């Protein structure tokens, strides 16, 4: 009898351990979005006084780019309590966001790429008398993180990056890499290039950079899906960063905020010194962009070939997409107040605290004017 009871106890405790560890693991899975929010929220909370609410109230539904999810979260922490507006941003992806927007389900969408002509046409059904427009709001450097033992200041240029990610350069002690890093001790190690396994705006922007700077080495058409053969794929920026950390000889691309604990590549752009990714260098890179949107649309064309000193060329800009005219009456005040806050000085300051790049002054000034004109 005694023995039996002991066994039962043992089984129970075993079960308890299994259950609790399962719970602990699920907890890990669900909060990987929370990175970097804490600092932004607390320091920005002090500036909540500058939020102008007007008659904003109720609930704002929004969806879209997961790349700007952390920024929206940080902004929401300040804006929501100040104006008593609940903001529900899902971060299901740019495609999903634009689809929900053109179906009239959400107040604004976040997107890594500007609206395509057919999407603008679709938006006219939702925006009575107007159309969907792109407002650049969040910038971000796409960092190249690497894991090569004994190498901490790696410099690469566009053709080399293209060849690495296209499996043309297969080893770290390749001549092309040696030439760019004369002082480094490059090991005889196989390169494992990590890319995203799912369609992603980060992939889109990274391949746009390769296409613009070195079309002879990057013979693909680009887009959100990865097209080159070979290499390793992982899901999400977090997955790519994880893969690079786990595998010696790995290199991968992701937003800067995921690069914690990893060395990042400095890009030889043609400027005097190679440029490391940072929020400032990204803002400098975006400053070279041209507004290509017509009317109130502020879609940007980034200059990936920029040779300006300290300008990091591989950046992505995410937009908020709203109607210029014909926004829904019940959400317009809240949408306007929120956009005014995030485009304002305090809102843009929050970005840098979360590893995003603020939009350069000249462009953000136009964004502010456009927001005031929304109706």
| φ and ψ at residue 251, rounded to 5 degrees | -145, 145
User: Whole-angstrom Cα distance, residue 155 to residue 309?
Assistant: 16
CB of 373 to other proteins, least distance (A): 30
Contact status, residue 334 vs residue 57, Cβ threshold 8 Å: yes
User: Whole-angstrom Cα distance, residue 233 to residue 208?
Assistant: 19
CB of 224 to other proteins, least distance (A): 5
CB of 203 to other proteins, least distance (A): 9
User: Whole-angstrom Cα distance, residue 139 to residue 133?
Assistant: 17
Sequence-distant (6+) residues with CB within 8 A of 193 are: 164, 165, 167, 230, 231, 232, 250, 251, 252
If the CB atoms of residues 132 and 274 are measured against other proteins, the closer one turns out to be 132
If the CB atoms of residues 99 and 160 are measured against other proteins, the closer one turns out to be 99
The CA–CA distances, whole Å, from 182 to 154, 218, 371 equal 10, 25, 50
CB of 7 to other proteins, least distance (A): 5
If the CB atoms of residues 118 and 216 are measured against other proteins, the closer one turns out to be 118
Neighbours of 298 (CB within 10 A): 23
If the CB atoms of residues 229 and 294 are measured against other proteins, the closer one turns out to be 229
User: Whole-angstrom Cα distance, residue 228 to residue 362?
Assistant: 36
Q: Supply the Cα-derived Rg of the chain in whole angstroms.
A: 23
If the CB atoms of residues 194 and 304 are measured against other proteins, the closer one turns out to be 194
If the CB atoms of residues 80 and 171 are measured against other proteins, the closer one turns out to be 171
If the CB atoms of residues 94 and 269 are measured against other proteins, the closer one turns out to be 94
Neighbours of 303 (CB within 10 A): 18
What element of type H or E holds 256? Answer: none
Q: In the complex, which residues of this chain contact other proteins (CB under 8 A)? A: 3-4, 7-8, 10-11, 14-15, 18-19, 22, 25-26, 28-29, 66, 92-96, 99, 190, 192, 197-201, 221, 223-225, 227, 229-235, 239, 242-243, 246-247, 250
If the CB atoms of residues 234 and 282 are measured against other proteins, the closer one turns out to be 234
Using DSSP's 3-state secondary structure scheme, residue 301 falls into strand
User: Whole-angstrom Cα distance, residue 234 to residue 93?
Assistant: 16
CB of 89 to other proteins, least distance (A): 14
The CA–CA distances, whole Å, from 24 to 12, 27, 28, 187, 356 equal 18, 5, 6, 39, 30
CB of 370 to other proteins, least distance (A): 26
CB of 14 to other proteins, least distance (A): 6
CB of 173 to other proteins, least distance (A): 15
């Amino acid at each position: 009898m005694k023995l039996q009871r002991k066994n039962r106890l043992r089984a129970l405790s075993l079960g308890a351990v299994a259950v609790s560890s399962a719970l602990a693991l699920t907890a890990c899975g669900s909060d990987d979005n929370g990175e970097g929010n804490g600092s932004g929220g607390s320091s920005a909370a002090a500036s909540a006084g500058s939020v102008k609410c007007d008659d904003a109230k109720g609930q704002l539904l929004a969806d879209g780019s997961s790349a700007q999810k952390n920024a929206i979260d940080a902004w929401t922490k300040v804006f929501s309590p100040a104006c008593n507006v609940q903001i529900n941003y899902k971060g299901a992806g740019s495609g999903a966001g634009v689809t929900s927007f053109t179906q009239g389900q959400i107040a604004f969408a976040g997107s890594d790429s500007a609206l395509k002509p057919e999407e603008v046409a679709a938006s006219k059904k939702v925006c009575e008398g107007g159309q969907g427009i792109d407002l650049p709001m969040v910038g971000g450097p796409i960092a190249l993180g690497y894991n090569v033992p004994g190498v901490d200041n790696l410099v690469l240029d566009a053709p080399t990056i293209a060849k690495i990610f296209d499996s043309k350069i297969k080893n770290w002690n390749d001549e092309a890499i040696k030439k760019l890093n004369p002082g480094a001790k490059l090991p005889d190690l196989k390169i494992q290039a990590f890319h995203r396994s799912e369609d992603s705006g980060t992939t889109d922007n990274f391949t746009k950079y390769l296409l613009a700077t070195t079309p002879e080495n990057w013979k693909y058409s680009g887009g959100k899906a990865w097209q080159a053969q070979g290499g390793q794929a992982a899901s999400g920026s977090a997955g790519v960063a994880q893969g690079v950390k786990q595998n010696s000889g790995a290199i991968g691309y992701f937003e800067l905020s995921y690069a914690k604990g990893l060395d990042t590549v400095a890009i030889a752009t043609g400027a005097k010194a190679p440029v490391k990714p940072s929020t400032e260098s990204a803002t400098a890179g975006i400053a070279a962009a041209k507004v290509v949107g017509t009317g109130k649309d502020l879609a940007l064309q980034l200059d990936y070939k920029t040779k300006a000193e300290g300008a990091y060329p591989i950046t992505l800009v995410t937009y908020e997409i709203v109607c210029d005219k014909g926004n829904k009456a019940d959400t317009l005040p809240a949408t306007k107040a929120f956009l005014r806050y995030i485009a304002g000085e305090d809102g843009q300051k929050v970005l840098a605290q979360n590893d995003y790049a603020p939009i350069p002054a000249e462009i953000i000034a136009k964004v502010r004017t456009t927001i005031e004109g929304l109706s």
